[in-house]
Amino acid sequence: MNIKTDFNKYYFEIIENGNSICKLTSDSNSIGKTNYLGDSIEFKTKDKWWERYQYSIIKNSKTIGSINFNWLLDSIITINQKGLEKKYILKINTFKQEFNLYDDNKIHLLKYKKTKGDFSIFEINCKIIKQPEEMIDLNELIIYSYYPAFLIMHGTLINQMNGGG
């Protein structure tokens, strides 16, 4: 599975066997939107100024989870579905230039790594290390977990374009 990322057009697209699974558009600041299997999925920043880097996950107009960042820029993704709460942690490995997703039992589920492209348009390979529990659809988990990676990469791109390191 690959993810095509284009920061010039503010989107990422999940591609499996040459077919588009979904395309998420985002202003990389406060909102992201997509449709997947007839469901609308949105990511919105929370309302208070001190919650600017906390996102609500909204599916079909109902809040089903959240994304928070810790000081290491790890993303803590909480999903509430089917009466259950599940937490995932997306960790950055800057040395290897990859993101790794773990469940709350520290089981490694997914690895995201850049395979080709340039500075703002590139492809990411999504390697499935272990299938997640049946509580959540795999592609939906990829949408929820790649969105914070998209935000972090966009922030890094803006920083470098502004002369940062």
User: Would you state the pLDDT for residue 50?
Assistant: 53
DSSP SS3 for 98: strand
User: Would you state the pLDDT for residue 105?
Assistant: 92
Is 97 within a domain? yes
Q: Which two tokens stand for residue 90?
A: 């997306």
What DSSP string describes 128-156?
ESSPPPTTS-HHHHHHHHHHHHHHHHHHH
Number of domains in the chain: 1
Is 165 within a domain? no
How buried is residue 145: exposed, middle or buried, by Cβ count under 10 Å (0-12/13-18/19+)? buried
Can you list the residues of the chain whose pLDDT is less than 70?
Answer: 28-30, 47-53, 154-165
- Determine if the pTM surpasses 0.75: yes
User: Would you state the pLDDT for residue 163?
Assistant: 54
How buried is residue 134: exposed, middle or buried, by Cβ count under 10 Å (0-12/13-18/19+)? exposed
- What are the two backbone dihedrals, phi and then psi, of residue 76, each rounded to the nearest 5 degrees? -105, 115
CATH of the domain at 83: 2.40.160
Is 155 within a domain? yes
The parent domain of residue 136 ranges over 2-160
Is 48 within a domain? yes
User: Would you state the pLDDT for residue 29?
Assistant: 65
CA angle 27, 4, 41 (to 5 degrees): 50
User: Would you state the pLDDT for residue 62?
Assistant: 96
Length of the chain: 165
DSSP SS3 for 74: coil
Is 101 within a domain? yes
